[in-house]
Structure 1
Amino acid sequence: MKVAVVDIKGKETGRKADLSDAVFGIEPNKHAVYLDVKQFLANQRQGTHKAKERAEIAGSTRKIKKQKGTGTARAGSIKSGVFKGGGRMFGPRPRNYSFKLNKGLKRLARRSALTMKANDNAITVIEDFNFDAPKTKDFVNVLKALGLENKKSLIVLGESNNNVYLSSRNLKASKVVKSSELSTYGIMNANNVVFLEGSLEGVEANLAK
């Protein structure tokens, strides 16, 4: 699959980037995508939720009324969850929500996500660029030229580029990552994935295994 390479002004350079069919042209596995996204979101959960149970409530331990003859249910503790101010029954406890996925399945999920974007014509290849200094305005101008100013976008760098990364940090709708940091959630969450020309080799090397 060939995609035209554009410059930072959004104009075609006359070159075409060859996207590997092994990464951008497979039969998408939607279940693998689902599992990888589910794992990503599960890993974001802190799992620090906690409610006090009856053993942790401060209160009297005496039996609050006699066992029989009251005409109501028997009760032994004011700290029971059936009473106001009592403990929470079956309340949340701290836990770890993360789970394991095989590396092969995660690579399949990322290839599937990239294929879906390619099928939707939501992949752009731009020639490598840099800024003299971190400036959000310069980064916004690039997004405007690509028609992505008001859309969620994922910019994929070949290697660390501090000026480009810092220029994008104030923009909620745009995210900059290195090719080694590419995630299925990041791909699926973006309306458009923009690859710097130099990042394609690293992406294909990481995923075409």
Structure 2
Amino acid sequence: MVESVIKNWQGEQVGETSFDLRVAKPETASHIVHRALVRQMTNSRQGTASTKTRSEVRGGGRKPWRQKGTGRARAGSIRSPLWRGGGVIFGPKPRDFNLKLNRKERRLALRTAFVSRAEDLIVVEEFSNELQRPKTKDLVAALARWGAAPDQKALLILAEIGENVELSARNIENLKLIAADQLNVYDLLHADKIVVTASTLEKIQEVYSV
């Protein structure tokens, strides 16, 4: 059970909340979170890097000079990997870097990573009504009142992302805005502060508790 205070738009404490998520055992927690993190970062690789071998480089079909009698080293093609403009030995080819992780393991790692950041979790009231129009300055000031300084990397998690909130957040350098159903291990571990609304916290517990 993790307990947190709830802050309003002005940064004042207006209540308390708690959530309970099943996490990995202490002796295996770091291992399962690490596996999920490696999987996420590896799966984000495009795997499109490609080089040409000597058989794929254009030209080089004719023997550049006769085998014997010239005093030079034997050569069969100007596209040999030893030549400038030749093929590449053991270069990268398009490949799939995806790693597999069971769904139960992925969700367990996600819950474990989220609960591990409980000390840096900031729970606030629903504030979409406070932004009548897109205003980056107002959102930056609110984050500072809540305890997320401008020089800290903050992760803002919302159940539903309104247009005014999205437009206000998109130009803040150290802020990342994601929906509750887009939780991932990397963002949870990368942020210095995690800001969620009370309703979002309830949704996270409802969706990810299984």
CA RMSD in angstroms, aligned pairs only: 2.2
1:43 aligns with 2:43: yes
- Residues of 2 paired with 1:154 and 1:187: CA distance? 7
Q: Does 1:176 align with 2:177?
A: yes
Amino acid at match of 1:36: A
Task: Name the TM-score, length of structure 2 as normaliser.
Answer: 0.87
Residue of structure 2 in register with 1:102 after alignment: 102
With over 3 angstroms needed to count, the CA separation of the structure-2 counterparts of 1:69 and 1:36, relative to structure 1, is farther
Tell me, yes or no, if the aligned pair for 1:26 and 1:111 is still in contact at 8 Å.
no
Q: How many residues align?
A: 205
Question: TM-score w.r.t. structure 1 length?
Answer: 0.88
Q: Which amino acid aligns with 2:58?
A: A
Does the 8 A contact of 1:48 with 1:94 survive in 2?
yes
Instruction: Give the aligned residue type for 1:150.
Output: D
Query: Within 5 Å, which residues of 2 pair with 1:91-170?
Result: 91-118=91-118, 121-130=119-128, 131-148=131-148, 149-170=150-171
Structure 2 vs 1, CA of residues 115 and 26 (structure 1 numbering), >3 Å: closer, same or farther? Answer: farther
Post-superposition CA distance 1:39-62 (Å, at most 9, x none): 222232222212222122223322
Q: How far apart in 2 are the matches of 1:164 and 1:144?
A: 16
8 Å Cα contact 1:26/1:115 also seen in 2: no
| Counterpart secondary structure, 2:55 | helix
Measured at CA, do residues 21 and 62 of structure 1 come closer, stay the same or move farther in structure 2, by a change above 3 Å?
A: closer
Letter in 2 for 1:152: K
**Residues 153 and 191 in structure 1, CA contact (< 8 A), matched pair in contact too:** yes
Tell me by how many angstroms 1:103 deviates: 1.2
SS of the equivalent of 2:87 reads coil
**Structure 2 vs 1, CA of residues 136 and 4 (structure 1 numbering), >3 Å: closer, same or farther?**
same
Return closer, same or farther for 1:29/1:70 CA change in 2, 3 Å cut-off. Answer: farther
For residue 33 of structure 1, give the secondary structure of its aligned residue in structure 2: helix
**Structure 1 pair 71/32, CA: closer, same or farther in 2 (3 Å)?**
farther
1:148-187 deviation per Cα after TM superposition (whole angstroms, max 9, x unaligned)? 2211111111223222122111123111112111111110
Identity, % of aligned positions: 35
Query: Match of 1:29, SS?
Result: helix
Change beyond 3 A, Cα 1:64–1:8: same
Alignment-mate amino acid for residue 151 of structure 2: N
2:183 partner letter? L
- Secondary structure of 1:194's aligned partner: strand
Contact 2:21–2:209 under 8 Å retained in 1: no
Q: Counterpart of 2:89?
A: 89
By how many angstroms is 1:192 displaced?
1.1
1:196 aligns with 2:197: yes
Hey, what's the Cα distance between the residues in 2 that align with 1:46 and 1:67? 44
